[in-house]
């Protein structure tokens, strides 16, 4: 039987690393990509399956295409489009260069790889793609994390649109968006967050993601608490919801 292959971006930490461990336990060969070679090598050494490491900075458009050229010849059974990061603060004050880099990773790189992998899977006739978004992408906006919320709204929107297109053509290919709330990873440190609610573990997040993929859910929201929050926000007037989100996100800033 031919070994299945999973490709995971942002695999050097957090959710991406946990996906790598999960698919390794299922016997998949792995293609792991991130910026930090040392971390990828350490992770690969811990796993009992073949691992190919591709060091890529996905904020650079050229490196997105170079990554694709390196993996395009492989049969890809699962693609975890996970690379991404955030930033926190008043929009007037946050670092523009960091925000542009975030847009490049969270939107441009996600979009390029999503399209390329989907086109390949259509030729193969099979495959599963999970775009890692956030519960932030299911809200109308996110004051004090404005750009991050906007990037994740893009991910949830495009995923749902493509999923409907595939459904209408009777395709067997699965696409979904993982929309977790707080997860205990390095995200907060990268986003300059000084206070955050305790999140679920990456292991719990990935466990629920895999169950959602198995059920072919288009939007996967891990944890009952976050599911209730997402459903509850639909009952609130938009302006009231924005005030609540602003109050919570403002707690995360240094000011």
Residues with catalytic roles: 148
Collapsed DSSP state (helix, strand, coil) of residue 105: helix
Give the ranges where the chain is alpha helix by DSSP (H): 14-25, 37-46, 61-71, 96-103, 110-124, 146-168, 187-190, 202-214, 224-233, 238-250
DSSP classification of residue 215? T
CA distances from 124 to 32, 144, 192 (A): 21, 43, 42
Sheet bearing 219-220, strands edge to edge: 51-55, 29-34, 5-9, 78-81, 128-132, 174-178, 219-220
Give Cα 48 to chain centroid, integer Å: 24
Compute the distance between CA of residue 51 and CA of residue 83 in angstroms, rounded to an integer: 18
The pair of three-digit structure tokens given for residue 214, joined into one six-digit string: 């198995």
CA R_g for the chain: 18
Residue 34 near residue 11, CB atoms below 8 Å = yes
């Amino acid at each position: 039987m031919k070994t299945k292959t999973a490709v995971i971006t942002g695999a050097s930490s957090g959710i991406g690393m946990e996906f790598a461990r999960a698919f390794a336990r299922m016997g998949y060969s792995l293609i792991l990509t991130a910026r930090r070679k040392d971390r990828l090598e350490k992770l690969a050494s811990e796993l009992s399956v073949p691992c190919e490491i591709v060091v890529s900075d996905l904020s650079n458009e050229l490196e997105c295409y170079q990554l694709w050229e390196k993996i395009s010849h492989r049969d890809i059974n699962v693609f975890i489009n996970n690379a991404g990061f955030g930033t926190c603060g008043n929009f007037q004050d946050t670092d523009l260069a960091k925000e542009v880099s975030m847009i490049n990773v969270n939107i441009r790189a996600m979009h390029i790889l999503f399209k390329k992998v989907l086109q390949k899977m259509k030729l193969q006739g099979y495959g599963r793609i999970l775009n890692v978004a956030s519960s932030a992408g299911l809200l109308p906006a996110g004051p004090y994390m404005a750009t991050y919320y906007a990037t994740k709204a893009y991910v949830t929107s495009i995923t749902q649109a493509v999923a409907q297109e595939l459904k209408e053509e009777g395709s067997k290919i699965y696409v979904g968006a993982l929309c977790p709330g707080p997860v205990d990873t390095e995200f907060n440190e990268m986003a300059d967050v000084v206070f955050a609610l305790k999140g679920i573990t990456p292991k719990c997040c990935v466990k629920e993601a895999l169950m959602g993929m198995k059920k072919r859910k288009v939007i996967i929201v891990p944890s009952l608490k976050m599911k209730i929050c997402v459903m509850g926000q639909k009952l609130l007037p938009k302006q009231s919801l924005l005030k609540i989100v602003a109050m919570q996100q403002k707690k995360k800033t240094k000011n």
